[in-house]
Structure 1
Amino acid sequence: MKQIGKKLSEIRIEKGLSQPELADCLTSIGITTTGQKISKWETDYSVPNAYQFLGLCNVLDIRDVLETFEIKDNPLSQLDKAGKQKVEEYVDLLILSGKYNKKSATVIPFTRQIKLFDIPVSAGTGQFLDSDAYELIDIGSEVPDSADFGLRISGNSMEPEYIDGQIVWVHQQDVLNDGEIGIFGYDNNAYCKKLSLTTAGTKLISLNSEYSPIEVQKNGVLHVFGKVVGKKGVYENA
């Protein structure tokens, strides 16, 4: 391989640039340097880093690095202009044949199955998790990984966040924190509500202000079936 510094010096002189002028050209494209540093590169006292070298190729209009610096591993460096043109023509023919083109990898989308219960969460006994009233549906990355099952909202008590007919994705768990939205069973009904835990007691809160909170009586039993972790568009096919 020809010494980088000597070749850079030859090309710079051919372009009619002094070392300070070349430094100014590099600085103008965001590569700050000096004429003194250019001198060190050209005398092989030091070498430019990759970023600086690309800048030099850009400013000095070096299009073929392998040929310019006579890198022997490049078989094209042994051909004249006509020979190189023949190689390019042959490459074009190989590409057009389609036999030697790179094969792009086929991306297989990730899917898994999840239960979608048919019972709307505004009604029912709350025992739906043990029932057969569900269908297995294929879902992808649009559904949170933590989702264990889906339910369809019925009614407008959780508007505007959750709309009638919308599917919510639920992570099955039996404990929720204050302020979290979940699926609850109480008084032989199943609900999608916001949990309120205060010293005054436990309430199930609707996001729609037209609905009054459901107060959980001291002797009542509140079942927590899970936390809502996502939702699907209104009446979209599951």
Structure 2
Amino acid sequence: MTAENEISKQIKSLRSKMGWSQSQLADKLNVSKQSVSNWETGLKTPRMGALQKMSDLFGVSIGRITDGEASNSDLVIKTSQLMKLLSIQHQQEVYEFAKKKLSFSSNSNVIKFPKDDDTLEITASGVLSAGVGEFLDDSTKPFTVTVHKPVPSNYDYAFQINGHSMEPVYQDKQVVFVKKEDDYRDGQIIAAVMDGCAYLKKLSVVDGEATLVSLNPQYPNIKVDKETGVNVLGVVFS
């Protein structure tokens, strides 16, 4: 196919996609309908000025019109046109989304295997149940666990999780770090002891009544008895 025939084909195709008649395209380009007809039949070839105007109108590169190739520049032009229609806030949201997609694409085929110097052995104070409860008292012996760096320096306890009631956020055998607080609020993830058993749960406080909530809906929540209460060891922060 000659260059002239390719240009004819592309002008007709792009015009049709926009839903314009030859007369409507001619009005937008400030040329006669006959000129558009001549371009589409191949009798004449549009000059560079007309090609540039059609490039802007169709939202494609000039190369798309002359060569029939959908290039990256077409997407750049279309994206630029759309971005101009968005508010500054929405432009920023589109930009952040694009950055995340780029990061995912860059790392999707990469598997990072931990190296020996990426891990550290620490002492865990015990086990927190993400299930039916783990016995924890003064006789519970600490044990050594291996965790990935970096390890926070300001934690009061390190506990290993046993169970699945806090999935998908907290996984079985994961190590969590706990910090003591003076006050505890609704919605915090806490390490708590009740009836001699240690739990990892979300604290829910409604009308003065506390509940230890499981993030996994397949596991029940635990109502805190007002008389016996619950001993909160601290807030999970890592």
Please give the TM-score of this superposition, normalised by the length of structure 1. Answer: 0.43
Q: Quick check: which one's helix share is greater?
A: 2
* TM-score (normalizing by structure 2): 0.43
